[in-house]
Chain A
Amino acid sequence: MNQVDGNRRDIRFDIYSRAFGGLMLRDLRVLSREIAPFLIRVAMNPLLFLFVFTYVMPHMNGGAKMSPMAGVAAGGDGFGTVLLPGLMAVAIMFSGIAAVALPLAQEFGITREIDDRVMCPLPIAAVAAEKIIFSALQSILAAALVFPLAFYIPSSPVHVHVASWWFLGAVIVLASLLAGALGLTIGTSVQPKQIGLIFGVVVVPITFLGCVYYPWAALNHLRWLQFGVLINPIVYMSEGLRAALTPSLGHMPELYILFGLIGFLTLLTWQGMRGFRNRVLS
C-alpha cells in the first residue's frame, strides 16, 4: 500500500505546495529568459502614447487645441493625470492576456505541452490558480514600470496623491489577479487559431471602453454609456487606480470599485478554471 494516506492533510499540503512552487519556479525561469521582450511589450504602448499625446501634441502649433488635454484640462489637471492610472490599468490587463491567454492558446493547440504541468501532483484548479498568480506578479511589475513613464514623460505636471496605501495595494493586487483570470478565461474559451482575433474583438474594445483615456465620472452626459461600461472589468481597474493615485480628477466611489473588482475576479476565476478543466480533462 502506498505510504501516502489520502486523508493526511498535512502530507497533502506538503505535496501540493512543493508542486505549486515548482510550477512558479518554472514560470520564473521562462520569464527571466524573456525579460527583454517582456519589458519592450510592457513599455512600448504607454511610452508612445504618452510621448505623442502628452509631450508632442502640447508642443505643436495649435496642437494644444487638437489634444484631448484641451477638454480634460478644463478641470485644472492635465491629460497626463488622466492617463497615468489608465495606462497602468492597460498594462496590468495586457500582461494578463500576454502571460496566460497567449501561451495557453499555444499549449492547448498543436503542442499540448501543458500536459506535463497538468500531470504534476496538484489538483487541476491549483494548476490554473498558479497561472493566475504568476500572471498577477507580471502585472504588478508592469504597473510599476508604467508608473515612472506616465509620471515623467508628460510636459504638464501629473498630480499624484495617495491617500491610502492600503487601498492602492488592494486595487493593484485585485486588478492584477483579475487580469490573470481574464487571460485564463480567454485562453481556455477561444480556439487556438482564433487567438489573433482576440485583440480586435476583446482587447481593443475593453481598452477603449474601459475608462482608460477618460474618467468614468466624465461620462455623466452620456448616461447610457456610463452604465453600459459597467460590464467591462477594465473600468474597475482604471477607476480603482484613479481613486488610489489621482483622486483629484473625480472617480467612481471606492466601494463600487472594490465590489466590481472582487465580483469580476470571482466570476472570471470560476469561468476560467471551469474552462481549464474542460480543456485538460476529457
Chain B
Amino acid sequence: MSDAVVEISGLRKVYPGKHPVTAVDGIDLRVNAGAIYGLLGPNGAGKTTTISIATTRAVPTSGSVRIDGIDVVAHPALARRSIGVVPQYNTLDRSCTVAENIQFHCLYFGMSRAEARERTNTLLEQFRLSDRAASYPQTLSGGLAQRLQIARAIAHRPKVLFLDEPSAGLDPQSRIAMWEAVQQLRAEGITIVLTTHYMEEADELCDRLAIIDHGKILIEGSPAELRAGIGGDKIYELRMSDAANTAQLESRLRETNGVTSVEPISGGLRVLAKAQDGLLAHVVTIANEFGLRDITTTEPNLETVFIRLTGRDLRE
C-alpha cells in the first residue's frame, strides 16, 4: 500500500472524428499525498485533457485514474468528493454572490446550512474576500475571481486540488499571491496537481514535475533532478557568422576538457559544460578561429530541459 493519492495508469484519450486526435497517449503518473505536482508542457500537450479525465469531466478512451482509491470512471459522482477543481476559465456562478458561491458549493457536498455558513466565513477570511462577500462575481478582478475559485474548490475539503493553468491571465502580483495560496494549502495537507507552461512557476512551486508533450510524459522527477539530468552546469550558445561550417568547430569543442556535449542549433552550436575556471575563455578562443559572432551563457533550467527533450521552445 502506497500513499499515492492520484494514480493514473495507461491513460489514453482519442477524440474521434474525421481526423482523430490523440490528446493523451499512454500516461502513467503517481502523485503522493501532500505533494505539489506539476504537469509542464506547451499548449496542446495533453495537460488539460489529463486533468479533465482525472476530474471526471472527460471520459478516457482507455486506462484508469484513481483518486484517493476511487476509480473516477466507474464512480465519478463519489470521486468528486475527493476532488477540487479550478479550471482555466472562470466558472463562478454569476447568479449568486461571492459568499453564496462558496455556501452553495458546501451544500452540494452535503454540509448542513450552519456548517456551510461557518465554512464560508472561514474561507472568505482566509482568502481575504470578506469585504466582497455580497458582491457578484462579475465585479471581481481576475486575481480576486481566481482566489474565489480556489476557495470554492477546497470548500468541501477535497484530498486533491487540481489547478489548470492557474496563472493564465493573472498579473505578476496576483500570480505571486496565488503561489502563496497554493503553498499554504499544501501546508494544510491538500495534495495539489497543477498544469502550467510557465517553467518559473513549475520550478518555484512544484515538488515533482512531469514534462508532457504530444500526450506523453517525456521525463518525470523533482525540478532539481530534471535540471541535473541535462548533463552540464553551464550552457554556452555560440552564434557563428558562418553557421554552415561548424562541423570542425564541433569536433574541436568535443575534445575540450570540461565540455560534456555539443549540439548544433540554428545559427551555431550549443555547448553543455561543467562549471570550470577558464573554460569559457577557452571555448571563446577556439570559436573565434571559426568566426564567433556572439555568445550567451545560461544555467540549465526547466526551459532548457524541455528544449533538449523536444527540440522546441516551451512557448511555441
A: residues with CB less than 8 A from B are 1-2, 4, 6, 12, 14-16, 18-19, 21-23, 25-26, 29-30, 33, 111-124, 280-282
B: residues with CB less than 8 A from A are 15, 52, 55-59, 68-70, 74-78, 80-83, 85, 87, 89-96, 100-101, 104-105, 107-110, 152
Complex: chain A residue closest to B100, CB-CB: A29
A100 to chain B, nearest CB (A): 14
Complex: chain A residue closest to B106, CB-CB: A22
User: Pick the contact of A6 from B74, B90, B96 — CB < 8 Å?
Assistant: B74
Q: List 18 A-B contacts (CB under 8 A).
A: A15-B110, A18-B110, A22-B104, A25-B104, A25-B107, A111-B90, A113-B94, A116-B152, A118-B57, A119-B55, A120-B109, A121-B77, A121-B78, A121-B80, A121-B109, A280-B57, A282-B57, A282-B58
Q: Residue among B57, B94, B107, B108 with the most chain A CB within 10 A?
A: B108
When A15-B78, A122-B77 are in contact, do A116 and B57 touch as well, CB less than 8 Å?
no
The distance in angstroms between the C-alpha atoms of A30 and B95, with both chains bound, is 6
B30 to chain A, nearest CB (A): 16
In contact, B77 and A113 (Cβ under 8 angstroms): no
In contact, B70 and A6 (Cβ under 8 angstroms): yes
In contact, A281 and B108 (Cβ under 8 angstroms): no
A124 contacts which chain B residues (CB < 8 A)?
Answer: 76
In contact, B82 and A2 (Cβ under 8 angstroms): yes
B90 contacts which chain A residues (CB < 8 A)?
Answer: 111
B91 contacts which chain A residues (CB < 8 A)?
Answer: 111-116
- Give the dominant DSSP class at A's interface: helix
The distance in angstroms between the C-alpha atoms of A278 and B279, with both chains bound, is 61
- Closest 4 interchain pairs by CB? A22-B107, A120-B108, A115-B91, A18-B110
When A26-B104, A121-B81 are in contact, do A2 and B69 touch as well, CB less than 8 Å?
yes
In contact, A119 and B56 (Cβ under 8 angstroms): yes
B107 contacts which chain A residues (CB < 8 A)?
Answer: 18, 21-22, 25-26
User: Pick the contact of A26 from B68, B75, B96 — CB < 8 Å?
Assistant: B96
A227 to chain B, nearest CB (A): 40
In contact, A116 and B105 (Cβ under 8 angstroms): yes
The distance in angstroms between the C-alpha atoms of A281 and B52, with both chains bound, is 9
A282 to chain B, nearest CB (A): 5
The distance in angstroms between the C-alpha atoms of A114 and B110, with both chains bound, is 19
A245 to chain B, nearest CB (A): 35
When A1-B69, A111-B91, A116-B152 are in contact, do A121 and B108 touch as well, CB less than 8 Å?
yes
Complex: chain A residue closest to B55, CB-CB: A119
When A120-B109, A121-B109 are in contact, do A115 and B87 touch as well, CB less than 8 Å?
yes
Complex: chain B residue closest to A30, CB-CB: B95
In contact, B108 and A117 (Cβ under 8 angstroms): yes
User: Pick the contact of A116 from B56, B69, B76, B93 — CB < 8 Å?
Assistant: B93
The distance in angstroms between the C-alpha atoms of A4 and B79, with both chains bound, is 10
B70 contacts which chain A residues (CB < 8 A)?
Answer: 2, 4, 6
A213 to chain B, nearest CB (A): 35
In contact, B52 and A121 (Cβ under 8 angstroms): no
The distance in angstroms between the C-alpha atoms of A266 and B101, with both chains bound, is 33
B142 to chain A, nearest CB (A): 15
Complex: chain B residue closest to A115, CB-CB: B91
The distance in angstroms between the C-alpha atoms of A123 and B52, with both chains bound, is 16
Complex: chain B residue closest to A19, CB-CB: B108
A16 contacts which chain B residues (CB < 8 A)?
Answer: 77
When A120-B108, A281-B57 are in contact, do A112 and B87 touch as well, CB less than 8 Å?
yes
A1 contacts which chain B residues (CB < 8 A)?
Answer: 69
Complex: chain A residue closest to B152, CB-CB: A116
In contact, A113 and B78 (Cβ under 8 angstroms): no
User: Pick the contact of A23 from B74, B108, B110 — CB < 8 Å?
Assistant: B108
In contact, B85 and A119 (Cβ under 8 angstroms): yes
Question: With contacts A19-B109, A120-B105 known, what are 7 further pairs, Cβ within 8 A?
Answer: A4-B70, A29-B100, A112-B87, A112-B91, A115-B57, A121-B77, A123-B77
B63 to chain A, nearest CB (A): 16
The distance in angstroms between the C-alpha atoms of A114 and B96, with both chains bound, is 12
In contact, A4 and B93 (Cβ under 8 angstroms): no
B82 contacts which chain A residues (CB < 8 A)?
Answer: 2
When A4-B81, A119-B85, A121-B80 are in contact, do A281 and B104 touch as well, CB less than 8 Å?
no
Complex: chain B residue closest to A15, CB-CB: B110
Complex: chain A residue closest to B149, CB-CB: A116
The distance in angstroms between the C-alpha atoms of A29 and B113, with both chains bound, is 14
Complex: chain B residue closest to A24, CB-CB: B107
In contact, B80 and A120 (Cβ under 8 angstroms): yes
The distance in angstroms between the C-alpha atoms of A74 and B104, with both chains bound, is 56
A140 to chain B, nearest CB (A): 22
Complex: chain A residue closest to B138, CB-CB: A111
The distance in angstroms between the C-alpha atoms of A120 and B152, with both chains bound, is 12
B55 contacts which chain A residues (CB < 8 A)?
Answer: 119
A282 contacts which chain B residues (CB < 8 A)?
Answer: 15, 52, 57-59
